[in-house]
A and B are shown apart, each in its own frame.
Chain A
Amino acid sequence: KAGVTQTPRYLIKTRGQQVTLSCSPISGHRSVSWYQQTPGQGLQFLFEYFSETQRNKGNFPGRFSGRQFSNSRSEMNVSTLELGDSALYLCASSGGLVDNEQFFGPGTRLTVL
């Protein structure tokens, strides 16, 4: 079974631009969660999508948004990039039930210049 894939793996943008990151979950999984990892703030939950609906949301500004498609693939968008958005963005997939495990992808490393 293929694991969670994230594209692109590396990205360099400049302040003010926007960026879209993609996550393909494990086949059959319906839940996709996104996390931001920075040296200062550690790993923080962004949001979770389940069956195309946002089910849970972390404490991030509205510049961070996401969506999920009918095939469970998810995209995360960050608009008006700031230097502080430089981070490793991790995606996790699960079956979505309360006792399902989450499996993480390799992440997308975003650098904002």
Chain B
Amino acid sequence: AQKVTQAQTEISVVEKEDVTLDCVYETRDTTYYLFWYKQPPSGELVFLIRRNSFDEQNEISGRYSWNFQKSTSSFNFTITASQVVDSAVYFCALRWIQGAQKLVFGQGTRLTINP
């Protein structure tokens, strides 16, 4: 079975602080994808990043960075110098590469950036 755990239900920080969102996953599959999505108040899920299980290289995109560690089954997301516009619910998700388009989501972390 596949499972994604986001232990942090809510995080609140002051603008310009760095913040890390944790994601731990469980799967028996050896080939899979990991994702992060952002859900602003409008409700639409916005794709942020995809990582496949063969590629443990960390990635940086502007103020966003992702740390994938297969040894600890973790795929953490860091926002550097947070901004108010980063306020949203963030979801980590897992998809078996052979599992068509079925995403298994974590429960989400509500991030609030205070000015």
Contacts and interface: CB of A to CB of B under 8 A. Distances in A.
Contact of A56 (B44, B93, B102): B102
Contacts of A106: 42-44
B25 interface: no
B91 interface: yes
B12 to A, nearest CB: 19
Contacts of B91: 43
Interface residues of B, number: 22
B75 interface: no
Interface in A61-113: 88, 90, 92, 94, 96, 98, 100-107, 109
A55 interface: yes
Interface string B39-81: 0001111110010000000000000000000000000000000
Given A42-B108, A43-B91, A103 B101 contact: no
Interface string B83-115: 000000001010001111111111110000000
A8 interface: no
Contacts of B44: 90, 104-107
22 contacts: A31-B101, A33-B101, A42-B106, A43-B93, A48-B101, A50-B101, A56-B101, A90-B43, A90-B44, A92-B45, A96-B100, A98-B97, A100-B101, A101-B47, A101-B50, A102-B47, A102-B101, A102-B103, A104-B45, A106-B42, A106-B43, A109-B43
